[in-house]
Structure 1
Amino acid sequence: MIVCVRLNLHYNASKFNIPDPVLRSLRIKKGQGWRFRLKITTTILHMVSNQECVVMQRRTVFLRYGLVMVALILATLACNLQRQTNGGPTPISSPNVQRPSVQIIEPAEGASVTRGQNVSVKARATGASGVTLVELRVNNVVVDSQVPAEAVNPSSLEVLLDYKAEQVGAVVLSVTAYTNNIAGQPALRTINVVDTLNPGAGGAGNSLTPRPASPTPYNPLCRARINTNLNFRRGPGIEYDIISTFVAGQEPPIAGYADRADGRWWQVSSGGQIGWVSSQYSTQLGDCGAIRPAPIPASPTPKPSATPQPTQPGATATPTLPDLVITMFEGVRDIQLGSSGTAQAMYVIRVKNIGGQTAGQFNVGVALPNGSVQDLGIVAALGGGQEIQV
């Protein structure tokens, strides 16, 4: 029997030029008299046979060569790092682009909504280098996004983003603004999605569920809800002149549409004028089944004329003809009939003359489901730009 008590393995690295990165990783100070030693000690506290001791000696030899290889690999990697740092190409620094910021305006923190309800999130993003995208995530899942209209990257942008509340409980809304591929710090807002109360269930848990605020009454008027700052133009295209600019949340009524190479454009009315907005940056609301294609204005490029017509002194422009449009038709959507088979409901109807001349006497009526028309009265006259409520 042979006693193998302790195996000590020493490796002297002073013969090698160990680079600084390796010395730092091993916590060795350069400039002092040092010896690089790798030491592994194995203590055997029991008697072993001669054959077992030979096996241990072989393992010791393998371990010795293995440690030498590890030291050489570390030195090679460190040298490569030194070459890349000293002799490699200088990294190109990215432009100094300021990260955009964003804040959520609506809904309020802790607001309650009903399951299945469409939720509109209004946000304002700002960025010194321009805002190129605003993105909405619900519980970290992207549900909607909005880019600025007409490829303009403004320094300030208000948007409306939508999602349908499906998951009951606390929901985290996260809105992030981007400047190209650089994202800003997201704005967070938590809302509560509740189920409709079921009195027949008899469960105590449902009785404690808070009721959300009553939803907005259904408005069947066909209109375009503006989702971001959008130009109101004289024709369906960016080549037409700008009349004014809509902001997010406005809902001009739709009178017609035109399909162009860059998508569909809505013909809408605002401020007594008829113009056009791109449907890409708006959401269609109401009942638009009766909307038809509208005539497209002539190209804004004037045709050259060899002999322009002389202007007579004192001539005035001829005012446009009267044009009556319904700007509002609002009221409850569903009506529950009483035992007599009748019910009463209140509706608000507004009629506006968007033309330049006074409209003569006209009637206002409502077509009922049975095909009859209920007369709501006679309007004696309505001047240009005037509006009346019935």
Structure 2
Amino acid sequence: MPSADFDFSELFGPDLATSKAKTTPTSDLSGKNVMIYFSAHWCPPCKAFTPKLATFYNDLKKSNPDFELVFVSSDRDEAAFDEYFAEMPWLALPYAARDRKDALSKKFKVNGIPSLVVVGADGETITTDGRSGVSEDPSGAKFPWIPPTFAGTFPATLASKSGDVASSTLDDKNLMLYFSAHWCPPCRGFTPELVKVYNELKKTRSDMELVFVSSDRDEAAFDEYFAEMPWLALPYADRDAKSALSKMFDVDGIPSLVVLGPKAADGTRPVINGSARGEADMDNLAAFPWHPKPFADLAKTVECNGSDINESPAIIVFAESADDDEQKEIVAAVKAVAEKEKEKKGENLFFFATQAGGVVDRVRQLTGIEGKKDEVIMIKLDIPDNGGYYVSDVKDITEASITAFMNSPGERVQLG
């Protein structure tokens, strides 16, 4: 467990590079906030950001010695690493420590570079969005950019059709936050379905409410869209709260639905499901507040178990061509393995696809199996592993065959 004297060698190993030929003990990081900079010489956005980060680092060092920065390289060879690191005033994970580089990328769910993570002296992650911190706070006045709390962000007053509502009246309720916008076609498709779900839930449950968090481009669009909704809304003018909530719940795309539990004595609300869009279904009302399942229908969502296919490896079974009975057996097998893996705290997500279209077709295309739509196919997609994937040659999908493929997926193929 992280502690006040966290040993950063758990992340970086015993030594860090200070130059091409010199090192320093990782123990020198003890008691400091540590920025971890994922970057590469070949990456144009990295090359543009690195000089800005160097200026920030050098200026902040003058007033705040209790931090350090460690470069974690995605360079393609050591010569490129050496050339790039020579431009930098900070430390680096030795290039040869590729296993630690991969482990750090997975731990902090780094899906693109440049990425800047800030870890506290206790080893706890403070923010994975340090890049925005450098851009928005170039003097470092707010460093280490401790994220705002929900209690400090959520407004005291919410909008409704009949007037303002005190947000404190929702303290004892499960709270859904609906991130959406009038201009967004997927949002326009999902909102009517969510209205049905909300209205049906309201008939039997007094312990829930929903608040619209708008990404509309102006207040007129917000007003038009909100007029279609039966729930509450964050006041459109409160753009700072909107931005803070989007960051707080890692909302990278819309529509997005987050479910929080009732307010605790300290003002916090537990996150029940940070990716509940796929759960908000008329056939799933009894399962509210929709604790995350370790499996999902790929046609409905790329998220399950609190993560998505961009963040975690995923076992996916494509069964669009199977008949109803075979599909039921396949889905049952996927669910059974997923539940067992959840108990073991396994890293894999599990998806089934029983209908074509949308993201199902897109994943088929990306993995080169779009020409086999008349076959049942199982793959492992590992985007966090630099876009790797694996294709099973097994056609009889059972708990045993899924488990065997998960444990030994075979030859790795690189996404193009």
Same fold (TM over 0.5): no
Larger Rg: 1
Q: Which has the higher strand share?
A: 1
TM normalised by structure 2 equals: 0.23
TM normalised by structure 1 equals: 0.24
Q: Whose relative contact order is higher, 1 or 2, with alpha carbons under 8 Å and at least 6 apart? A: 2
